[in-house]
């Protein structure tokens, strides 16, 4: 582990080792070390960490340490001892795979990220994420993605990325344009089917700049965009707040419609039978990819249920945005 390349080095703060009596050295640092997993000593160390991965990372599986495209990032505390040497304590790690991206670059995908329980809630997960981004930037990679992130990891990721976006000047004209639109219009009386893509969502050129300069992928940027706009809203301006909610509602609807369109006209239809109604279905699709009507029509009562479910999704999305905005604000004050 000590042979890994240092991608980040921070001075040790009291909050970084409050629960450990042996973290009291004056010359101490928190470092992120990057190593190739196919390196035998590193692979052996990872194999010893596999039980922790299986226990603490939901749905995770060990990675192939013989594949040279796998890398691991260790976050450690490096403490100077009385003899002038250093001792290293493992705080957490992340495994990252390097994918080919057409035509001539690569993208990084985070597979596993784990901060050991005694050292959680001390900012080490954010350090790992920021270190991976710094590597992607220094090597001019395409972007950074995460494989099936947990809700908690996704929250941390949005927090890290939104903080980076808050100080990224090239996107501010687009942010200000959206804020002005929310101030000047009354979206409760809108006639457009959806205002999200037309007026609220990030412009394509902004999405491209963010990917190129910050390595935040398109899907992740959309998540951060809503939080970014909310952070810049005037909370005393009721029209702005209500317009923001209307845009979030359109965003949720757009996501649902986009998923429906990806089925290419394919429908799963339940068919009753004399044995087990829940176990019988047929799959139907049209040759031109259009939706078929009539055979899978739903009773009128379903429309009310769908509206209720949609409203619940919108409320949940708003709660998530507000919660993330609070976390970002608290990080800004640190």
Question: Which residues in 305-319 are b (16+ Cβ under 10 Å) and which e?
Answer: eeeeeeeebbeebbe
d(CA 87, CA 113): 23
Q: Which residues are catalytic, by number? A: 147
d(CA 72, CA 74): 6
Report DSSP state, residue 117. G
Q: Is 177 exposed, middle or buried (0-12, 13-18, 19+ CB in 10 A)?
A: middle
d(CA 256, CA 322): 22
Q: Which sign, positive or negative, has the C-alpha torsion 312, 313, 319, 323?
A: positive
The beta-carbon contacts of 166-170 under 8 Å, at least 24 apart in sequence, are 166/228, 166/231, 166/328, 166/332, 168/210, 168/213, 168/214, 170/206, 170/209, 170/213
């Amino acid at each position: 582990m000590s042979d890994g390349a240092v991608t980040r080095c921070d001075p040790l703060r009291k909050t970084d080792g409050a629960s450990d009596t042996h973290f009291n050295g004056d010359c101490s640092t928190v470092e992120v070390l990057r190593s190739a997993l196919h390196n035998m000593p590193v692979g052996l160390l990872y194999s010893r960490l596999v039980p922790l991965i299986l226990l603490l990372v939901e749905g995770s599986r060990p990675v192939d340490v013989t594949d040279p495209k796998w890398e691991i990032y260790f976050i450690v505390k490096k403490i100077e001892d009385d003899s002038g040497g250093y001792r290293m304590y493992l705080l957490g790690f992340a495994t990252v795979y390097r994918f080919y991206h057409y035509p001539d670059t690569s993208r990084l995908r985070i597979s596993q990220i784990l901060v050991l329980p005694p050292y959680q809630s001390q900012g080490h997960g954010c350090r790992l994420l920021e270190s991976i981004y710094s590597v992607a930037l220094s090597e001019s990679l395409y972007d950074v993605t995460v494989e099936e992130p947990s809700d908690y990891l996704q929250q941390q990721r949005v927090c890290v990325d939104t903080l980076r976006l808050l100080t990224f000047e090239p996107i501010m004209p687009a942010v200000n344009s959206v804020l002005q639109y929310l101030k000047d219009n009354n979206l409760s009386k809108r006639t457009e089917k959806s205002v999200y893509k037309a007026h609220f969502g990030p412009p394509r050129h902004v999405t491209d700049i963010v990917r190129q300069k910050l390595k935040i992928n398109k899907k992740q940027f959309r998540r951060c965009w809503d939080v970014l706009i909310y952070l810049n809203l005037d909370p005393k301006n009721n029209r702005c707040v209500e317009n923001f909610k209307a845009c979030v509602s359109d965003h949720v609807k757009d996501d649902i419609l986009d998923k429906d369109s990806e089925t290419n006209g394919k429908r799963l239809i339940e068919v009753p039978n004399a044995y087990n109604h829940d176990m019988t279905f047929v799959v139907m699709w049209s040759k031109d990819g259009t939706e078929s009507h009539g055979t899978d029509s739903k009773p009128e009562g379903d429309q009310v249920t769908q509206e209720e479910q949609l409203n619940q999704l919108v409320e949940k999305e708003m709660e998530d945005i507000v919660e993330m905005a609070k976390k970002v604000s608290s990080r800004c004050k640190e």
